[in-house]
Amino acid sequence: MSEQRGVRMDLRLLVGGSVLVIVVLLALLASWLSPATGSVHDIVATRFLSPGVTDAHGAFHLLGTDRLGRDVWSRLNYGARISLAVGVLTMALSLVIGTLIGSAAALGPPSLRWCLLGLTDFALGVPRVVLLLLLAALWQPGTVQVILVLGATGWMPIARLVYAETRSQYARPYVQGALALGARRWRIMLRHIVPHAAPSVLAAVTLGIGNAITLEAGLSFLGLGVQPPTASWGTLIASGRDTVVNAPWVGLAPGIALVLVVAACTLVADAVQDRARRLI
């Protein structure tokens, strides 16, 4: 039984991890992977080509072209740069805020704890998309704003996790022992608590990256996120919305990419979470 579970867990990590690695590679190599089209090209001749067609200039379009004759495959790879960057940077911001608030709540005086936990619960109760729409409406939408807004609304699960882990580790005899031996708080934090909390926080961060990518795409889809002509998967889906009928591939391709990446994040997070649970 335990052997079987071990095999399956590695499978999740393997599948999810390799999808993520492939997408990261595609994003990094985007400029090499896109077919060379001259700066001047004939829009009418190259628009709405179906997937797998070679156009009049001899360029091959793996996923076809959109209504401006742009190659969907290369837009997808360039879009991956923005989408992945938004996901990772957002969660980096959330990680910093969440760790600060979580550990301050766990180690600070009771009044501070009460305030910070109350704040966290309050923030969790607010419908995130409503808040996002609100914030997106206030400032001119753009890529940096999306990262800031998503990061500022995604720290709550991490704060709770850090708080819970810190509290539970602090009550353990070995931490009490270290305290009795005169270890300082930050040393205990770094040496004992961070290594214990890292796997579950990592799982939460991975899950959050998937989430952030979805939300970025959603905001961009509504026109409140990344602005065209910058390609992100959200703006690509949005541009596919208008051409559902005559060029379904324009909207389908970025959506499938999005689902694959988010599912991969979920799989990796699950595997990491299971491993963390077994360590305890």
Rounded least distance, CB 5 to another protein, Å: 10
Give how far Cα 241 sits from Cα of 11, 23, 152, 215, 254, Å: 35, 23, 29, 17, 11
Residue with tokens 């009795």: 180
- Cβ(105)–Cβ(163) under 8 Å? yes
Site string for another protein, 125-164 (x = CB under 8 A): xxxxxx--xxxxxxx-------------------------
H or E segment at 60? strand 60-61
CB of 213 to another protein, least distance (A): 9
Our CB check for another protein shows the closer of 189 and 265 to be 265
- Percentages helix, strand, coil for the chain, rounded to the nearest 5? 75, 0, 25
Nearest CB to another protein, comparing residues 183 and 260: 260
Residue whose entry in the numeric block shows the structure tokens 């805020």? 97
Residues 236-265 within binding reach of another protein (CB under 8 A):
237, 240-241, 244-245, 248, 251-252, 255, 258-260, 262-263, 265
Q: Given the complex with another protein, which of 202 and 222 has the nearer CB atom? A: 222
**Cβ distance to another protein smaller for residue 19 or 175:** 19
Give the integer Cα–Cα distance in Å for 173 and 20: 40
Distance CA 222, CA 219 (A): 5
Residue closer to another protein by CB (options 51, 223) is 223
Show the site string, 3-22: x = touches another protein by CB under 8 A, - = not.
-x---x--------------
Q: Residue 71 carries which DSSP code?
A: B
Interface mask toward another protein for 42-81; x: CB under 8 A = ----------------------------------------
Q: Smallest distance, Å, CB 243 to another protein?
A: 11
CB of 138 to another protein, least distance (A): 4
Q: How many CA atoms lie within 13 A of 60 on its CB side?
A: 3
Which CB atom, from 199 or from 240, has the smaller least distance to another protein?
A: 240
Q: How far is the CB of 214 from another protein (least distance, A)?
A: 5
State CA 255 to chain mean position distance.
15
Residue 36 or 245 having the CB closest to another protein? 245
Dist CA 78 CA 256 (whole Å): 15
Distances (CA, A) of 207 to 56, 107, 148, 270, 273: 44, 26, 18, 9, 10
Give residues 192-231 in contact with another protein (rule: CB under 8 A): 210, 214, 217-218, 221-224
Cis-peptide into 195, omega within 30 deg: no
Interacting residues with another protein (CB under 8 A): 4, 8, 122, 124-130, 133-139, 210, 214, 217-218, 221-224, 237, 240-241, 244-245, 248, 251-252, 255, 258-260, 262-263, 265-267
